[in-house]
Amino acid sequence: MRFYTQQHRYYCGIDLHARTMYLCVLNQEGEIVLHRNMPSTSESFLKAVAPYRDDVAVAVECIFTWYWLADVCAKENISFVLGHALYMKAIHGGKAKNDKIDAHKIAVLLRGGMIPMAYVYPAGMRSTRDLLRRRMHLMHKRSELLVHIQNTNSQYCLPQFQKKIAYKKNREGVAEHFPDLSVRKSMEMDLALIDHYDKLLTDVELYITKTAKIHDIERFSTVQDFVSYCRLVKCSKESAGKHYGFSGAKIGNVHLKWAFSEASVLFLRQNPEAKRYLDKLTSKHGKAKALSILAQRLGRAVYYMLKRDKAFDMKKFFSS
């Protein structure tokens, strides 16, 4: 966890919403110099902080509406801090809670050097990241439809499909495979949606290939930071020498967690050496934990591949 500890003359905490925001400004002594509810617009924000522009830091909790505020602060050369939503327990733990109280708490945390920082993703890459996540959402929906067809086939105890229906050329006659007319109609709807998703995904993947702006691995100073961000490690909870389990399972990037989990399974295909390595881990830790360890090892390997600009070396992977 990283905290923002730089000193300023003024500290601005904002409880931000889609249409309105509550703004609280503290001075160095902790006195409130501004407390106001206003529309969520760049004009209202700049007018409110104008008297404190010489040396002010602005903090907001990491919710879906922070993009425009970060861009305004960057353009106007105002220090901007994005608070990590899952770490900001002080915001959600009070007896009373409203926008005015929350804005004041954010400003107090900022002034005291206790606001946990989330990463402010570069403006030029946010749209690519959001598009990639949207593509993944569509891919999951497509997979649900394929699974529904397979499950329906098992539900009626019909013969298994001879080929993978994930491929369009293998989906001819799938609807006719079901004798019941109502079931066949349901399958026809699934197949029509799959065909539509295929067209959408093909188009968006071509667009991403031509236009994507990918972030540099230099964002992460150590491999530990990277695997932690990917949710590939567990954080131990200890006190007075006693172990109380693990925490932080939901802190990090859920998409990278899924990607490396899938990669660990695909890594085992047609790979006898990887299977022997997994068997060794399984005998010591069990199947589930062995796959998690393999995913973490792959995450570390990807970090060093990008950091050193070198291709994957299977021999080095198993010898380390």
Q: Which domain holds residue 194?
A: 123-211
Confidence of residue 85 (pLDDT cuts 50, 70, 90): confident
Q: Supply the pLDDT for residue 105.
A: 94
Answer whether residue 3 is part of any domain.
Answer: no
- pLDDT score at 163: 93
Asked if residue 145 and residue 93 are part of one domain, the reply reads: no
**Higher local confidence (pLDDT), 292 or 214:** 292
Amino acid 319: pLDDT: 85
Per-residue pLDDT at 242:
87
Is the pLDDT at 89 greater than 90? The verdict is no
- Span of 82-96, 204-218, 220-234 with lowest mean pLDDT: 82-96
Residue type, 146: L
190 with 145: CB under 8 angstroms?
A: yes
- Separation of alpha carbons 171 and 164, rounded Å: 8
Q: Number of structural domains, the chain?
A: 3
Query: What's the pTM?
Result: 0.84
Residue 40 lies in a domain: yes
- The answer to whether position 71 is within a domain reads yes
CB 303 within 8 A of CB 223: yes
The whole-chain average pLDDT of the chain stands at: 93
240 confidence band (pLDDT: 50, 70, 90): confident
- C-alpha span between 82 and 116 (Å, rounded): 8
